Amino acid sequence: MAGLTITRSFAAPREAVFDAWTNPEKFAVWFGTDGVDVPAETLSMDVRPGGSWKAVMKLPDDTSISWIGEYLEVDAPSHLVMTITDNPALDARGVITVDLAEVGGGTEMIMSQESPGFDQGQLDQTAIGYNAFFDVMGTLVAESE
């Protein structure tokens, strides 16, 4: 199955990084970066196994992307598994796994996403997007200290 894995280190405790994934106000800051708005009223997160989440990205060209998913595993502050799709009509969902470990006064995050049906070009673009997201997340979690 197509997928990608990104490993990043953050100068913040893993609780702060986990919070960035599960706190709606913080998620809205990094999910979409500076060029994309995720309005608070479009974001909901029921962070528990079986709970759902949704967010709408408002793009600079006035279009939007509606994301939905479900939480499969929640083990704060070290492990999170959730599904993601921008096409709610399809049953195929990407599965995101986030593992957080305390490393040298900070946190190492290993995020992997299974992306059914993605070709290499789509995976490459997804990785570019996530890395931009995680650049913003790094600033956000460092400021939370």
Give the pLDDT confidence score for residue 1 in this predicted structure: 66
Higher local confidence (pLDDT), 145 or 135: 135
At 66-102, the pLDDT tens digits run 999 999 999 999 999 999 999 878 777 899 999 999 9
The answer to whether residue 143 scores a pLDDT higher than 90 is no
Bridge-partner residues for 82, per DSSP? 71, 96
As given in the structure block, the two tokens for residue 141 are 């979690």
CATH number of the domain at 3-143, please? Answer: 3.30.530.20
What does residue 74 show for φ and ψ, rounded to 5 degrees? -135, 115
Per-chain mean pLDDT for the chain? 93
Averaged pLDDT for residues 51-59:
95
Q: Parse the chain into domains and list their residue ranges.
A: 3-143
At 102-130, the pLDDT tens digits run 999 899 999 999 988 889 999 999 999 99
- Within the chain, residue ranges assigned H as helices are 14-22, 24-30, 120-143
